[in-house]
Structure 1
Amino acid sequence: MARAGLTAERITRAAADLADEVGFDNVTVSALARHFGVKDASLYSHVKNLRDLRTRVAVLAAGEMVDLIAAAVAGRSGKDALAAFAGAYRSYALRHPGRYAATQSKVDLAQVADLAPFLRTGELTYGMLRAYDLAEPDLTDAVRLLRSTFHGYTSLEAAGGFQHSRDVDASWDQAIEALHVLLTHWPRASKEER
């Protein structure tokens, strides 16, 4: 592949593809250089270092994931929005394991040029929860519950952690139903906690 064709975006997309193949933690500048048929140094004119490359992959993946979720929840509210949000989240995590891992990595937001995907993710999540009429700190607690539930479930599913004969999709649907019931009957924080 010609060096002239290298750009930060092209390198980032190749790194995201590689992450899906070999795992996000296994993405290296050397592996990408081999992919492009160039020396490692050729990539450093486009990305600063491995940390910069991984941050770029996290931003790319966050953007892809939030676009998928936004399309799924558009025009929906309440339980329908919750199920659509959760389904899009799960679908992305299972289809793109390396990219998904990048979205879960710690990113120094001060080093990120484009914060839009991260901000949009927060806006979508809080927007989806509006139907449940939660105020702070309950809203933050609910967001954390959803994220940990979706992440835990998809991580276990991807690792083959569900060995019971019960259909995994049926369990997922039941989990979403349980989350809806919980959000509808959320135990409100006391006035001292607010």
Structure 2
Amino acid sequence: MPRLGLTTTSVVGQGAELADEIGFAHVSVTTLARRLGIRTASLYAHVLGNDDLRTRIALLALQEMADRADREVAGRAGVDALMALGDVYRGYAAEHPGRYDASRLPMDPSTAATSAGPRHAALARAVLRGYDLDEAQQVHAVRLLGSTFHGFVSLELAGGFAHSNPPSQESWAAILSSLDLVLTSWSTA
């Protein structure tokens, strides 16, 4: 019988908060139960186990980022849309490092297809409509954006830019401007 007051949604939300505090790699049903002050077995009324909990946290993170990106990119085009989308990923990662890490969890194809992952790809394609790329080239450009955003954010979260000048914000702005230049001059030949 489920514990009074606990729902799957609240359990996943607590798991996401825990991921932000201790790191996604350290989240388990046991650590979450300890945080909630309940027996581990009590959580099995809400999640099937560690893999299910971790997948649900990843799905939540993807949903939250897609919702934020929808709001921030709406009504923008070209470099403004590109910068807004990049800032969504970077800002979300700074605010929710564990959830951001969760968003990169590999999923089985059926789960991935029903997640907010396809919304992320659609948002990237919407940004790319401001550039003269055919559909085949958009696939490469979406991968370029994802690689750049996630690579920079991962290095920044790991402290990779903390030891040198200029500040990472200057590098971020320069990288986004360079991406705009690359996308503007992208050759489809």
Q: Which residue of 2 aligns with 1:134?
A: 133
Matches within 5 A, 1:23-102: 23-102=23-102
Aligned equivalents of 2:157, 2:35: Cα separation in 1: 26
Matched, 1:169 2:169: yes
Offset at 1:116?
Answer: 5.0
Q: Which residue of 1 aligns with 2:120?
A: 121
Q: Which residue of 1 aligns with 2:157?
A: 158
Aligned equivalents of 2:111, 2:40: Cα separation in 1: 22
Task: Please state whether the residue corresponding to 2:159 is helix, strand or coil.
Answer: coil
Q: Which consecutive residues of structure 1, in runs of 5 or more, have no partner in the other structure?
A: none
Aligned structure 1 segments of 4 or more residues deviating by more than 6 angstroms: none
Aligned residues: 187
Aligned equivalents of 1:164, 1:34: Cα separation in 2: 39
Aligned equivalents of 2:176, 2:72: Cα separation in 1: 15
Aligned equivalents of 1:9, 1:187: Cα separation in 2: 46
Check whether the contact 1:24–1:102 (CA below 8 A) recurs between aligned residues.
yes
Task: Please state whether the residue corresponding to 2:76 is helix, strand or coil.
Answer: coil
Offset at 1:111?
Answer: 4.0
Q: Deviations over 1:132-171 (max 9, x none)?
A: 1212321111111111111111111111111221121111
Check whether the contact 1:3–1:38 (CA below 8 A) recurs between aligned residues.
no
Aligned equivalents of 2:59, 2:102: Cα separation in 1: 8
Q: Deviations over 1:48-81 (max 9, x none)?
A: 1111111110110001111111111111000110
Aligned equivalents of 2:3, 2:45: Cα separation in 1: 11
Task: Please state whether the residue corresponding to 1:62 is helix, strand or coil.
Answer: helix
Q: Which residue of 1 aligns with 2:7?
A: 7
Q: Which residue of 2 aligns with 1:147?
A: 146
Check whether the contact 1:125–1:143 (CA below 8 A) recurs between aligned residues.
yes
Aligned equivalents of 2:9, 2:93: Cα separation in 1: 22
TM-score of the two chains, using structure 1 as the length reference: 0.91
Aligned-residue RMSD, C-alpha: 1.6
**Alignment-mate amino acid for residue 51 of structure 2:** R
Check whether the contact 2:77–2:130 (CA below 8 A) recurs between aligned residues.
yes
Aligned equivalents of 1:164, 1:155: Cα separation in 2: 16
Aligned equivalents of 1:119, 1:156: Cα separation in 2: 25
TM-score of the two chains, using structure 2 as the length reference: 0.93
Task: Please state whether the residue corresponding to 2:84 is helix, strand or coil.
Answer: helix
